[in-house]
Amino acid sequence: MGCIPTKALVRSAEAIHLARRAREFGFETGDIKVDLAAIQDRRAEIVRVGVERMTRGIESNDAIELIRGEARFESATRIVVNETVIEAPKTIIATGAQPMVPDIPGLDRPNYLVSDGLLELRRLPEHMIIVGGAAVALEFGQIYRRFGSRVTMLVRGERILRYQDEEIATTLEEALIAEGVEILTGTQVVRVEPVGDGTQIHIEHEGQQRMLECAACAVIDYEGPPRPAEDAMVTATGRRAYTDRLGLDEAGVRHGPDGISVDDELRTSAQNIWGVGDVLGGQHARYKYTHVAVEHGLIAAENAMRGAGRVMDYRAAPGAVFTDPEVASVGLTEREALEAGYTIQVGRQPAERIGRARVMGETRGLVKTVAEAGTGKLLGMHICAHNAGELIHAGVVAMNAGDGSLDPILNGIFIHPTMMEGVQSSAEVVGSDEPARMSH
């Protein structure tokens, strides 16, 4: 799932949403007409330029030999790419992940889209049904709702974003519902059945059997772009490590359904092979982010080439969901901190009390700070607000600075009016049941 391609769609959806709010900001617009094909063309051009620049940088580096093809291990030190044999004393596996299709009766025929296909869809579905409630599902759900589709989300758990702080997840869920996204939590997809040219999706929700229907579900054609349709069912239930056809058993690399097993230094069970990014399983599988994969790469390269002995520390590894409002987090949630045995203090600052948020008309949201009582050590920061993906870095820096306390945030002089004032205000009232002072 490409970060940049998806965010290009997010930006188009955001612009459309703001245009529809014109009267709120004191001006008039005509009818908003969404041209999905033009949106996808913009997304494709952004990707093309980015890929060209990245590829040019690799190809122009005399220290790098780029070989295109499908690689597989014949042994821990022997790799075949196409018909070329490479003797590899040390290897880093970085094959990433691919969309995971849920085990639902009826999905043995191509009657659904996986998330990658939505990056190519060129005609707007009238009704989009999304199976899933994590980041990918939520981003696409809001994108296509803002584009004009009716969107229904089928979430197996009792809430969206199960790894996020509960208050933060609830704040986002309320915002999406307010935009017209239908979210059915606690829902089990029982089966999918073709009916004529369309598809029926049978679900169990709140103890009741229900049936949803797509008139002509979009289909992924793996040899080309998805076929256009009036309605679309989408499975966005996660991604699985791409380990197919790599010859990991021949290399002696231990792996399971969730990915490759590595130790804290990212070394696999084969002592000369390391793994990085979304291909990893175990504790690493929770952090499927590009920025985490980049850090993996630095650590694995230093360990492989210099025996640096560096380990991956997820304590201050941030993550974000690029909905609107955005969700971003670092460290422990309130529940995780309590379960870990900490005595905690929590600070909260509603977005509606942040001056800049009111000016921008972005008052949905919450900044939440979790700290250890007595020491002031920052255990976690969780934000659902406009530009949360930028704001969270204050928490990242604080957790990596000195003793990891809130002092870098509390002692800083933050510009007024900015959203960052809300982060500081949240830190100021750690341990209080009252919101921080209002940012004027």
Q: What is the pLDDT of residues 305-316, one digit of tens each?
A: 999 999 999 999
Q: What pLDDT does residue 236 have?
A: 61
Active site residue 416: yes
Compute the 3-state secondary structure of the chain and give helix, strand, coil in percent, each to the nearest 5.
35, 25, 40
Q: What pLDDT does residue 218 have?
A: 34
Distance CA 371, CA 381 (A): 9
Q: What pLDDT does residue 197 have?
A: 64
Strands 231-235 and 127-131 come out as: parallel
Burial of residue 402 (number of CB atoms within 10 Å: 0-12, 13-18, 19+)? exposed
103-131 per-residue burial string, b: 16 or more CB within 10 A, e: under 16: ebebbeeebbbbbbbbbbbeebbebbbbb
**Cα–Cα nearest to 171, from 185, 159, 156:** 159
**Cα–Cα nearest to 385, from 308, 336, 322, 307:** 322
Strand segments, DSSP code E, in 239-323 are: 239-241, 255-256, 259-260, 273-275, 319-321
**Cα–Cα nearest to 360, from 32, 23, 25, 27:** 25
Strand segments, DSSP code E, in 236-341 are: 239-241, 255-256, 259-260, 273-275, 319-321, 326-331
pLDDT at 350 over 90: yes
Q: Which residue has the tokens 């499927």?
A: 288
238-295 per-position pLDDT tens digit = 678 889 899 999 999 999 988 999 999 999 999 999 999 999 998 898 888 999 999 9
List, edge to edge, every strand of the sheet that includes 198-205: 187-195, 198-205, 208-214
pLDDT at 432 over 70: no
Reported as a pLDDT band with limits 50, 70 and 90, residue 221 is: very low
Distance CA 354, CA 359 (A): 9
**Least-confidence region, from 10-14, 39-43, 127-131:** 127-131
Distance CA 319, CA 306 (A): 29
Amino acid identity, position 314: Y
User: Across the chain, which distance is largest between two alpha carbons, in Å?
Assistant: 67
pLDDT at 60 over 50: yes
**Cα–Cα nearest to 346, from 367, 319, 321, 322:** 367
State the average pLDDT over residues 118-136: 85
Q: What pLDDT does residue 228 have?
A: 44
The DSSP-derived string for 20-65 is: HTGGGGT---------HHHHHHHHHHHHHHHHHHHHHHHHT-TT--
136-156 per-position pLDDT tens digit = 889 999 999 999 999 999 898
Given 284, 291, 296, 416, the catalytic residue: 416
Alpha-carbon Rg for the chain, nearest whole angstrom, is 23
Position with higher pLDDT, 206 vs 329 = 329
Cβ neighbour number for residue 406 with a 10 Å cutoff: 26
Distances (CA, A) of 8 to 62, 306, 360, 384, 389: 33, 38, 21, 20, 15
**Cα–Cα nearest to 196, from 213, 211, 212, 209:** 213
Contact partners, residue 440, CB within 8 Å, separation at least 6: 355, 416, 417
Reported as a pLDDT band with limits 50, 70 and 90, residue 217 is: very low
Q: What 3-state DSSP class applies to 325?
A: coil
Distance CA 15, CA 37 (A): 16
